[in-house]
């Protein structure tokens, strides 16, 4: 596994230095008024929102940050219904929340009907119920406010007051909170980092926004740093009694149109990231200090470590044994044991006893076991599936384990990822931001890049076509990294008494294909890379006549592709993209096949040779024939797990070239002078395309 890590340069964006070039606001911010709302509704009557189901006419928020780090947000949202689908989506306003971290009070709710009448909604009709939960049972609740029948053109007006803080670990939420009023109840809330506040606010979504204002009121004793990403905003800074107001405004924001397999909304929507925390080192030390007392081992843990590492001579093998033990023996489920579940790791002794926990608890269990081995290990925060920006705000949804090697280099381990995997850390999360929780304090760090060769699928086949067009082939598939992991998981998940039938259904050779002999690696054997060996037959695979035979190259139909390389076969119908496309991981796909035809037959036409080189994908294909024998070599390197928009056209060209080779016919003829001359005339030429 690659160990080299890349360190991000520290970025300090002080509030007093407004580095985002945009028009300054001409007056101090103020809360929205009834007149503002009526004006917005009137103006919206003349607007064309295209295909949107609803539009946010106003999203107006003032955040008042206490010197303790706790904040209260007063917000007004004005939403216009544009379609029947929008009416259905907005007919119930839902507020999900964690009672330990959030309070909300709905201060007003009304509907502006298209005929000009206004319905004030009774707030005592708000329903209370547990949030639907799966695998994480932290006592979540939700409040439901039913809106009387909505029609196209109606406008919803909502006013709320929220006190508390968001936990990125639980995912983003449009309006988290409890339906209890702020006040005495709010005093029990404690911010994760006392004396500090941080927030990430998006200024775009999948519906259009006409006007959004976000103002943060801070004590002059709480300097804040922030940056705007993925676009620009109007910004201003104003003084008020005992403090400063930082305001961000966006007008006429179009909806972000979803694209297949696009990157996370946080990575493409304009957003502001704010934090009073001065640097990542402080965040690192805080995360260390709040959790350091959780890793004391007891006799039972020490005995388990001794048992699973017995006979292992290398430290790497003992580390792997502990990582796999946690992965395979600590079931993923979360139960609440106190406040700040998103940040506080449970004790290793409790996780060991319960044999369960979420990612943070599995990471803490591994830290506990590694320390029994004498390894210096700590928990680390990361953001699976999205970027972590330079500003030291809470941008994390996952916890992993980091350790120092004997040479002083850091290594990342993830017991949440590796059930049924030989990987110690997910190659799917390459170049991902992490903050290690150490006593000295660490800056923001990136996980390693994994080259395509790390995630390798290598297939070799010896195939024969008989005079009736029947295909018989012996296939050997070797996998490492990502393909290895997913083969193991599908084998374990899809296990059936007739595994030959399971494999045959995923061969892509056609309806007549059957698996005559099958061998595959035990999914729980972590001592070797995964391998599959199959003997396959497919009657009538080739279209065969008296002197003509046509077939597709068997391996190029991508056997087991829905298990191993589904993202390499995405439908790329769009000629361009606005946002990056996320693949599962980098990949090397390597096919080598030899096909023998019946005696007296020869190859007349094969797919044309191709070479395409581009920043995100390289492709090469070449074929040759000798008498009745055809051999070819195909290779595709997926070099980036996120394909940026500027790379997409050339990436698409490589994938389309692969699909063209898959769809192309190999034409064979019986031995005759005519077929021999045809073969000579159809020798493929090499096409080379190189893109920097």
Tens digits of residue pLDDT in 548-574: 999 999 999 999 999 999 999 999 999
Radius of gyration, CA atoms only, the chain = 30
pLDDT of residue 134: 82
- Closest by CA to 87, choosing from 130, 50, 56, 53, is 53
> Is there a contact between 443 and 410 (Cβ–Cβ < 8 Å)?
no
Mean pLDDT of 285-310: 97
- Residue 17 is assigned to a structural domain of this protein: no
- The answer to whether residue 127 scores a pLDDT higher than 60 is yes
- The answer to whether residue 283 scores a pLDDT higher than 90 is yes
pLDDT of residue 679: 41
More confident residue, 686 or 522: 522
- Residue 3 is assigned to a structural domain of this protein: no
Residue 620 sits in the same domain as residue 654 = yes
- Residue 635 is assigned to a structural domain of this protein: yes
> Is there a contact between 499 and 457 (Cβ–Cβ < 8 Å)?
no
Residue 672 sits in the same domain as residue 617 = yes
pLDDT of residue 335: 81
- Residue 25 is assigned to a structural domain of this protein: no
Q: What is the rounded CA–CA span in Å between residue 222 and residue 275?
A: 10
Q: What is the pLDDT of residues 438-451, one digit of tens each?
A: 999 999 999 999 99
CA-based angle 150:153:155, to the nearest 5?
70
> Is there a contact between 29 and 247 (Cβ–Cβ < 8 Å)?
yes
Q: What is the pLDDT of residues 574-605, one digit of tens each?
A: 999 999 999 999 999 999 999 999 999 999 99
Domain count of the chain?
3
- Closest by CA to 10, choosing from 434, 390, 299, is 390
pLDDT of residue 185: 41
- Residue 252 is assigned to a structural domain of this protein: yes
Residue 234 sits in the same domain as residue 372 = no
- The answer to whether residue 103 scores a pLDDT higher than 90 is no
Q: What is the rounded CA–CA span in Å between residue 293 and residue 368?
A: 10
Mean pLDDT of 230-252: 95
Residue 532 sits in the same domain as residue 677 = yes
- Residue 231 is assigned to a structural domain of this protein: yes
The domain spanning residue 680 has which CATH number? 2.60.120.1130
| Residue span of the structural domain in which 312 resides | 283-449
- The pLDDT confidence band at residue 339, using thresholds 50, 70 and 90, is low
Mean pLDDT, rounded, of the chain: 89
- Residue 298 is assigned to a structural domain of this protein: yes
Last residue of a domain, one of 278, 298, 329: 278
- Residue 1 is assigned to a structural domain of this protein: no
Contacts of 384 (CB under 8 A, 6+ apart): 397, 398, 429, 432
Mean pLDDT of 682-687: 40
Q: What is the pTM of this model?
A: 0.88
pLDDT of residue 602: 93
pLDDT of residue 132: 84
- The pLDDT confidence band at residue 684, using thresholds 50, 70 and 90, is very low
Residue 531 sits in the same domain as residue 615 = yes
Residue 309 sits in the same domain as residue 258 = no
Residue 88 sits in the same domain as residue 166 = yes
Reduced to 3 states, what is the DSSP secondary structure of residue 213?
strand
Residue 667 sits in the same domain as residue 520 = yes
Residue 241 sits in the same domain as residue 300 = no
Residue 551 sits in the same domain as residue 623 = yes
- The answer to whether residue 55 scores a pLDDT higher than 50 is yes
Residue 168 sits in the same domain as residue 245 = yes
Q: What is the rounded CA–CA span in Å between residue 261 and residue 518?
A: 34
- The pLDDT confidence band at residue 338, using thresholds 50, 70 and 90, is low
> Is there a contact between 41 and 78 (Cβ–Cβ < 8 Å)?
yes
Mean pLDDT of 609-615: 97
Contacts of 283 (CB under 8 A, 6+ apart): 193, 277, 381, 392, 435
- The answer to whether residue 171 scores a pLDDT higher than 50 is no
Please name every residue paired with 611 in a beta bridge, in sequence order, or none if there are none.
620, 688
Q: What is the rounded CA–CA span in Å between residue 444 and residue 12?
A: 13
- The answer to whether residue 519 scores a pLDDT higher than 80 is yes
The pair of structure tokens assigned to 671 is 């031995």
CB crowding 235-273: b at 16 or more within 10 Å, else e: bbeeeeeebbbbbbbbeebebbeebebbbbbbbbbbbbb
Residue 386 sits in the same domain as residue 361 = yes
Last residue of a domain, one of 449, 484, 517: 449
pLDDT of residue 25: 61
Last residue of a domain, one of 221, 253, 278: 278
The domain spanning residue 205 has which CATH number? 2.60.40.3140
pLDDT of residue 672: 54
> Is there a contact between 445 and 433 (Cβ–Cβ < 8 Å)?
yes
Runs of H (alpha helix) within 61-152: 84-90
């Amino acid at each position: 596994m690659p160990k080299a890590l890349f360190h991000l340069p520290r970025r300090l964006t002080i509030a007093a230095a407004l580095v985002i070039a945009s028009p300054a606001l001409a007056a101090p911010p103020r809360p929205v008024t009834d007149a503002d709302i009526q004006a917005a509704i009137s103006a919206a009557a003349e607007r064309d929102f295209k295909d949107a189901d609803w539009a946010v006419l106003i999203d107006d928020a003032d955040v008042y940050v206490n010197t303790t780090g706790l904040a209260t947000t007063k917000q007004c949202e004005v939403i216009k219904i544009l379609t029947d689908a929008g009416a259905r989506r907005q007919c119930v306003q839902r507020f999900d929340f964690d009672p330990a971290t959030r309070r909300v009070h709905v201060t007003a709710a009304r509907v502006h009907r298209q005929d000009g009448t206004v319905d004030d909604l009774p707030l005592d009709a708000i329903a209370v119920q547990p949030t639907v939960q799966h695998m994480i049972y932290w006592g979540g609740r939700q409040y439901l406010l039913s809106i009387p029948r909505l029609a196209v053109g109606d406008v919803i007006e909502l006013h709320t007051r929220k006190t508390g803080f968001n936990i990125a670990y639980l995912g983003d939420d449009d309006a988290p909170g409890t339906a209890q009023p702020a006040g005495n109840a709010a005093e029990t809330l404690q911010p994760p980092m006392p004396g500090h506040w941080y927030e990430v606010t998006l200024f775009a979504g999948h519906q259009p926004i006409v006007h959004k204002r976000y103002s943060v009121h801070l004590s002059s004793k709480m300097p804040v740093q922030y940056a705007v990403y993925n676009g620009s905003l109007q910004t201003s800074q104003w003084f008020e009694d005992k403090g400063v107001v930082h305001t961000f405004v966006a007008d006429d924001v179009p909806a972000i149109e979803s694209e297949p397999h696009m990157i996370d909304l946080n990575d493409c929507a304009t957003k502001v990231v704010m934090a009073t925390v001065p640097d990542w080192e402080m965040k690192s030390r805080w995360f260390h200090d709040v959790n350091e007392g959780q890793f004391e081992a007891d006799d039972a843990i020490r005995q388990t470590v001794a048992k699973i590492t017995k006979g292992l001579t290398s430290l790497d093998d003992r580390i792997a044994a502990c990582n796999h033990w946690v992965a395979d023996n600590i079931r993923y489920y979360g139960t609440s044991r106190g406040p700040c579940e998103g940040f506080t790791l449970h004790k290793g002794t409790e996780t060991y006893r319960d044999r369960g926990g979420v990612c943070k608890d599995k990471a803490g269990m591994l830290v506990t076991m590694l320390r029994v081995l004498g390894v210096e290990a700590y928990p680390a925060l990361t953001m699976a599936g999205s970027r972590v920006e330079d500003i030291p705000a809470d941008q994390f949804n996952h916890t992993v384990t980091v350790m120092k090697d004997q040479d002083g280099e850091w290594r990342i381990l993830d017991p949440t990822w590796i059930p049924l995997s030989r990987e110690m850390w997910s190659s799917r999360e390459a170049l991902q931001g992490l903050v290690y929780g150490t006593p000295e304090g660490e800056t923001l760090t990136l996980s390693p890049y994994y080259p395509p060769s790390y995630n390798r699928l290598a297939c070799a086949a010896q195939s024969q076509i008989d005079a009736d067009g029947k295909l018989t082939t012996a296939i050997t598939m070797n996998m490492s990294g990502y393909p290895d992991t997913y083969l193991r998981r599908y084998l374990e998940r899809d296990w059936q008494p007739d595994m030959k039938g399971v494999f045959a259904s995923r061969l892509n050779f056609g309806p007549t294909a059957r698996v005559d002999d099958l061998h595959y690696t035990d999914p729980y054997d972590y001592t070797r890379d995964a391998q599959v060996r199959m003997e396959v037959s497919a009657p009538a695979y080739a279209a065969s006549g008296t002197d003509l035979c046509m077939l597709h190259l068997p391996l190029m139909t991508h056997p087991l592709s829905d298990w191993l390389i589904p993202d390499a076969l995405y439908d790329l119908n769009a000629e361009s993209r606005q946002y990056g496309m996320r693949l599962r991981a980098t990949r090397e796909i390597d096919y080598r096949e030899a096909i023998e035809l019946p005696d007296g037959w020869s190859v007349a036409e094969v797919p044309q040779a191709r070479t395409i080189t581009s920043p995100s994908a390289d492709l090469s294909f070449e074929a040759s024939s000798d008498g009745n024998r055809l051999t070819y070599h195909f290779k595709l390197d997926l070099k980036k797990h996120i394909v940026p928009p500027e790379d997409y056209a050339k990436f698409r060209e490589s994938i389309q070239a692969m699909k063209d080779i898959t769809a192309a016919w190999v034409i064979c003829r019986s031995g005759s002078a005519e077929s021999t001359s045809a073969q000579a005339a159809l020798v493929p030429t090499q096409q080379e395309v190189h893109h920097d």
